[in-house]
Amino acid sequence: MKKILLLGSGELGKEFVIAAKRAGQYVIACDRYANAPAMQVADEYEVFNMLDGDALDHVVEKHFPDIIVPEIEAIRTERLFDYEKEGIQITPSARAVNFTMNRKAIRDLAAKELGLRTAKYFYAKTLEELKEHSREIGFPCVIKPLMSSSGHGQSVVKGADELEAAFNAAMEGSRGDVKEIIIEEFIHFDSEFTLLTVTQKNGPTLFCPPIGHVQKGGDYRESWQPFCIPADELKKAEEMAGKVTAALTGAGIWGVEFFLTKEGEVIFSELSPRPHDTGMVTLAHTLNLNEFELHFRAVMGLPIPAIHLEHAGASAVVLAKEEKEGEPKYNMTDVLGEDYTRLRIFGKQEQHIGRRMGVVLCYGDKDADTTPLRDKAKRLAGTVIK
């Protein structure tokens, strides 16, 4: 049995804990607030600010885990190098977590060191720098904090008169103490997709069938698997994902995001060194192993004989509709009255407008058209919170 310290206890962490507990492991779930989703299924929990390096050191010293699994961005990530030197396994690696928790590091690695095709971009710490770079990028453009999650602080800016508001939103939406933003060219893409990539300790890098997704304000709203993409473009995406994950090192699952343009060009967008929001569709039995089971096996160095598609599936998130303490009243009847349908309630104890509270999952034959599955998932997601 291994002792696993989970840093971040949201809905993705909850599913990872379930995968670990099914295999008899011991998990301590950590987050800044009590009764977070993963804490509800873990063996122990700790409540503290993970951006406080001393507090993080205290928890690590207290539990001295075999493995640390980061699930969010807001962590004092430079401390992970010290823990790694002490013999604690960091997932996927301290290097990977430090690079990918900051858009500046991962974008420079992808574009400048590895030569991957990305959107044109610049960094800015002041409004004046942003205005200067906007003249080089042009409009529309995308403005994001260097460190954030769930689309917080992200804006699409259509003209110079919107820059100040976007700058302020990016600074306010930044997580941690990184107060710098990135301005990117707006890619006129036909679609977006995620390539879940599994790096192993003792095996080849594996790729899941691509996942199509729709985001609103940079935050996941729906996803479906498989996503149809020509074989040549898929091969290019796999090559890019393979290069960047190899450069970052370590074992685990990665959510590698791409744009697909109308001309068929694949463009690298972002990377997460952990299970991905859009990969929640794998809970709809789309694969022989869902993304959390794949992550667990890779982290533990356990064999993954193959990844293959078993069903076509779609997911749609259930969103909170008001600002309120406590959980909303859930209507599960409509969803559970449908065949080939699943509902996952995350167990969040506080509501904020637009906060993800659950997900509806629909599936069918692996050769089924995903459009009706998407429509069904979205329709049912709208019935869960009245």
CA distances from 169 to 5, 155, 157, 184, 356 (A): 33, 8, 12, 16, 20
Peptide bond before residue 328 is cis, with ω within 30 degrees of 0: no
- Determine the Cα–Cα distance for residues 63 and 287; give it in Å rounded to an integer: 34
What was the pLDDT predicted at 148?
Answer: 63
CATH number of the domain located at residue range(s) 189-381 in this protein = 3.30.470.20
As averages over each run of 10 residues, the pLDDT of the chain (386 residues) reads 97 98 98 97 97 97 98 90 97 92 83 92 92 93 78 86 92 76 89 97 97 87 96 96 97 96 91 96 98 98 97 98 92 97 96 95 96 98 95
User: Which contiguous run of DSSP H or E holds residue 299?
Assistant: helix 291-300
Read off the amino acid at residue 248. Answer: L
What was the pLDDT predicted at 106?
Answer: 85
Question: For 205-225, b where at least 16 C-beta lie within 10 A, e where not — what string?
Answer: ebbbbbbbbebeebbbbbbbb
What was the pLDDT predicted at 27?
Answer: 98
Question: From the CB of residue 280, how many other CB atoms can be counted at a distance below 10 Å?
Answer: 26
User: Which contiguous run of DSSP H or E holds residue 207?
Assistant: strand 206-207
User: Domain extents for the chain?
Assistant: 3-90, 120-185, 189-381
| DSSP 8-state class, residue 309 | B
Which CATH code of 3.10.450.50, 3.30.1490.20, 3.30.70.560, 3.40.50.2300 fits the domain covering 120-185? 3.30.1490.20
What was the pLDDT predicted at 216?
Answer: 85
What was the pLDDT predicted at 360?
Answer: 98
Locate tokens 């967008």: which residue?
269
Which pTM was predicted?
Answer: 0.91
Residues marked as catalytic: 149, 151, 257, 270, 277-278, 356
N- to C-terminal Cα distance for the chain?
43
Question: From the CB of residue 323, how many other CB atoms can be counted at a distance below 10 Å?
Answer: 10
14's tokens: 């909850």
The topology under which CATH files domain 3-90 is Rossmann fold (3.40.50)
What was the pLDDT predicted at 74?
Answer: 83
